Amino acid sequence: MIYTVTLNPAIDMTVYIDTLKKGQVNRSRYCLMDAGGKGINVSKVIKALGGQSIVLGFLGNDNKDWFLKYLKEMQLDFDFIFVDGLTRTNIKIVETSQKIYTDLNQNGFEVKKKDINHLFEKIDKIAKADDIFVVSGSLPPGADEEVYAELIRILKQKGAKVIFDADGKALKSGVLEKPDVMKPNIHEFKCLFDVDENDLNSIVNSAKKLIESGIKKVLISMGAKGAVFVTENMELFAKAAEAKIKSTTGAGDSMVAAISYGLSQNMDDVSIFKLALACAAAKVSKEGVKPPEKKEIKKFLEKISLEKLGEVKWI
């Protein structure tokens, strides 16, 4: 089974506006609301791919009804730990005139020590060998930066596979526990290594250090510039597939969905990377944080071309 773990979910409010004017009253053209947070977006795309997953993590008690209704309508399975307070609302501004995408993310509800202990106990009970756990997103206030590291330790002791996507100090401590797969974007990757984001070789050489440390696959996403995939056997680069962009939110999560689904189906690395790029392109073609449909993903899959590193001309 695939489990996605989201400790800081969010109601994503995507606001479409021609141009955002700072310091003025702005009126949106329209706005979409989605139940989000990284792992939840991953589960949406796993479902679109025809896979099954269970959403785990925390959810705020005070506004849980709307959120749960959304997940039920999407036919997603979930098993949350409910905590005091409101699940945060994150604002995603899409400026249609200039294609600028701005995120305004909130801190989220405060979790207590007992909530964290409950989470560890629950995951310790659930996890079995060969399960796949996606551990992703920011930590809510009250959760110390070691929480992901401890979670990865518990999961690895059980023999579960861990796909990890975090930022900052939580990323730095989690990486030491050697998750099986990592999907940092280039900014997150720069928390770990002092790389020049315009120099593909320096990115690959740093990713190889993670592979040498025992991490099996590292996918570094670079927004519109594409992505790099480094595994024990290969180093690949691909440009982002051309797409009519409606919202970039959740593009990285779609890649994580492809990796987890691909692993659950024993897909090879090349197929996993292609699927990740196709899922990302299909996602950015959707408004708000809506998952793409399988037929849309398939259409993009035909257009993905990979380049072996060494033959790449960097743009």
Ligand X SMILES: O=P(O)(O)OC[C@@]1(O)O[C@H](CO)[C@@H](O)[C@@H]1O
Ligand Y SMILES: Nc1ncnc2c1ncn2[C@@H]1O[C@H](COP(=O)(O)OP(=O)(O)OP(=O)(O)O)[C@@H](O)[C@H]1O
38 binds ligand X (CB under 6 A): yes
**Cα–Cα distance, 253 to 235 (Å, whole number):** 21
Residues in the chain: 315
> Given the rule CB under 6 A, which of 57-65, 208-216, 228-236, 243-251 is the region that contacts ligand Y?
243-251
Q: Are 308 and 235 in contact (CB under 8 A)?
A: yes
Q: Which is nearer to ligand X, 8 or 173 (CB)?
A: 8
Q: Are strands 161-165 and 181-182 parallel, antiparallel or unpaired?
A: parallel
Q: First CA to last CA across the chain, in angstroms?
A: 40
* Beta pairing class for 307-308 and 88-95: unpaired
- Other C-beta atoms closer than 10 Å to the C-beta of 305 total 9
Partner interacting with residue 240 (select from ligand X, ligand Y, none; CB below 5-8 Å by kind): ligand Y
Under the binding rule (CB under 6 A), the answer on residue 227 touching ligand Y is yes
CA-based diameter of the chain, in Å? 55
Check if 253 is active-site: yes
Residue closer to ligand X by CB (options 252, 291) is 252
| Contact residue for ligand X among 2, 4, 5, 10 (CB under 6 A) | 10
| 286 contacts 247 by C-beta, under 8 angstroms | yes
Size of the site for ligand Y (CB under 6 A): 20
Residues 6+ apart with CB under 8 A from 203: 186, 189, 195, 197, 220, 228
Stretch that binds ligand Y, among 125-133, 145-153, 206-214, 250-258 (CB under 6 A): 250-258
Residues 71-110, mask of contacts with ligand Y (x by CB under 6 A) = ----------------------------------------
Provide the binding-site residues for ligand Y, judged by CB under 6 A.
185, 221-224, 226-227, 240, 243, 245, 248-253, 255, 277, 280, 284
Residues involved in catalysis: 253
Provide the binding-site residues for ligand X, judged by CB under 6 A.
8, 10, 12, 36-38, 41, 90, 103, 105, 137-138, 167, 249-250, 252-253, 289
